[in-house]
A and B are shown apart, each in its own frame.
Chain A
């Protein structure tokens, strides 16, 4: 039990509106933790109400959809925990290869998941840093003989302790027999084996092209044991992504705006250039811009007005660019 003199300032701070309720509780929590430590001479770490698993996986579970990825992360979490426990009993703890292939269309969350997985693995102790290094063909492949290996090695060194994310990896094998892309792949495979304990390589790209790429080099497929397919989001998932995006930026969608948003989405979904989450972000961002335009000469806007995105923000203004039925030449 800490002294009254510690608790009272926190409460009075809260009364004066300087801190919010969760912050006050956090501070009280810390005050108790400190006083407990003093009493126990720093031996015990007080038990937490919530298990660790939810906390570690929370950044991933917050994402919409992606159930296969979540299941895989759960498996890996269990594996890491069990290995740690085995080590405590003096049993052999093996390190499995965790290099992965992500396949899916653009905007399905591959980069986002790679970044989240990096920090989760760092927390689990599988990786030392958990940073994400994102590279593409141009970063790995050089112009002259001998340059490719050096460049690739530099990338591997930079990513060591974290995740090396190679976007559109099939481009490495595109150039034909005399291309340096092959050299990059060979160096990569060698580096992956050497740094197996502290590096995760993730290859990302379209489904069919990735399959062709993996078939090209026979050793490649077995070195990436985990393949995760990122399916296109369903309409409902796209809507909840939009809602999350909007509330993250302190906006709200009116019910009518949701209807208009869904109409736009249905038209966009059939286009070949549909970019799932990225398209949703673009729609939301343009709505935010148009809401700003609507309110810019509206001086007595209230807090609610400033938060609301209404249907006019989605369909108004340059409606002719938005809705495909207004551009017949392009579609038919």
Chain B
């Protein structure tokens, strides 16, 4: 069993991406275990991915509080399973809401323990000069320091200018695994899934 943490800032599309990835793995009726920041554990079963997206995903920031675990079986054997762990988005600024802060603390805690990290970045928010946000940069450094498997997913490929930005990033960081996806339109999920499959076996 391998834990894979979806990490990133608020509103970059971590929840949607993890639901779509689990759908791509053939898991059309997702089973979600939510660990709320208060410590409460809630299990939710959805009939279809569409329904799950309707309930779990919104335009507001910090819709996901605490950790959301999704099972996605990758690889040829049933025994090699991968848990996609969706997390509360981090942000560089100070946060006033206590619940959100607790959720973020859970994210950091999960980052300390996880076996694998998918850093999700909003492609339309990358600044000129291909500088990542402070929090993303430190998360990536931390993952490199722990020597765990990591990949960067540039999401929101459907927005204008993101394709060019992700191509630039790929050229700049040859030593990092970089994928470009659009979780909304289910584009570019294949390579990410293959990456998970390779490492998950």
In the complex, the answer to whether B173 meets A51 with C-beta atoms within 8 Å is yes
In the complex, the answer to whether A28 meets B109 with C-beta atoms within 8 Å is no
Interface residues of B in 80-131 (CB under 8 A from A): 90-96, 98, 101-102, 104-105, 108-109, 111-112, 128-131
Given contacts A46-B144, A49-B144, A54-B172, contact A24 B108 (CB under 8 A): yes
In the complex, the answer to whether B101 meets A7 with C-beta atoms within 8 Å is no
Q: Does A216 have its Cβ within 8 Å of any Cβ on chain B?
A: no
Interface residues of A in 131-183 (CB under 8 A from B): none
Task: Return the chain A residue nearest B104 by Cβ.
Answer: A21
- Nearest Cβ in chain A — how far from B22, in angstroms? 26
Interface residues of A in 1-31 (CB under 8 A from B): 7, 11-12, 14-15, 17, 20-22, 24-26, 28-29
Interface residues of B in 123-153 (CB under 8 A from A): 128-131, 134-135, 137-146, 150
Q: Does B51 have its Cβ within 8 Å of any Cβ on chain A?
A: no
Residues of B near A15 (CB, < 8 A) are 101-102, 105
In the complex, the answer to whether A50 meets B95 with C-beta atoms within 8 Å is no
- Nearest Cβ in chain B — how far from A266, in angstroms? 24
In the complex, the answer to whether B105 meets A14 with C-beta atoms within 8 Å is yes
In the complex, the answer to whether A28 meets B108 with C-beta atoms within 8 Å is yes
A166, B193: Cα distance in complex, Å: 58
Residues of A near B98 (CB, < 8 A) are 17
Given contacts A25-B138, A28-B108, contact A20 B92 (CB under 8 A): yes
Q: Which of A11, A50, A58 contacts B109 (CB 8 A)?
A: A11
Residues of A near B142 (CB, < 8 A) are 25, 28-29, 32
Interface residues of A in 172-199 (CB under 8 A from B): none
Q: Does A227 have its Cβ within 8 Å of any Cβ on chain B?
A: no
A48, B140: Cα distance in complex, Å: 9
Residues of A near B102 (CB, < 8 A) are 15
Interface residues of B in 166-192 (CB under 8 A from A): 172-173, 175-176
Majority secondary structure of chain A interface residues (helix, strand, loop or mixed): helix
Residues of B near A50 (CB, < 8 A) are 137, 140-141, 173
Q: Which of A28, A33, A47, A49 contacts B140 (CB 8 A)?
A: A49
In the complex, the answer to whether A25 meets B108 with C-beta atoms within 8 Å is yes
Interface residues of A in 289-331 (CB under 8 A from B): none
- Nearest Cβ in chain B — how far from A294, in angstroms? 26
In the complex, the answer to whether B176 meets A49 with C-beta atoms within 8 Å is yes
A30, B95: Cα distance in complex, Å: 23
- Nearest Cβ in chain B — how far from A51, in angstroms? 7
Given contacts A11-B109, A21-B90, A22-B92, contact A29 B145 (CB under 8 A): yes
Q: Does A249 have its Cβ within 8 Å of any Cβ on chain B?
A: no
Residues of A near B104 (CB, < 8 A) are 14, 21
Task: Return the chain A residue nearest B129 by Cβ.
Answer: A61
Q: Which of B111, B138, B173 contacts A26 (CB 8 A)?
A: B138
Task: Return the chain A residue nearest B37 by Cβ.
Answer: A15
A29, B128: Cα distance in complex, Å: 26
Residues of A near B91 (CB, < 8 A) are 21
Question: Which residues does B use to contact A, with CB under 8 Å?
Answer: 90-96, 98, 101-102, 104-105, 108-109, 111-112, 128-131, 134-135, 137-146, 150, 172-173, 175-176
Pick the 6 closest A-B CB pairs, nearest first: A49-B144, A61-B129, A25-B138, A22-B134, A21-B90, A49-B140
Give 21 CB contacts A-B under 8 Å: A14-B105, A15-B105, A17-B98, A17-B101, A21-B90, A21-B92, A21-B135, A22-B135, A22-B137, A25-B142, A28-B108, A28-B142, A29-B138, A29-B141, A29-B145, A33-B145, A49-B140, A50-B141, A51-B175, A54-B130, A62-B131
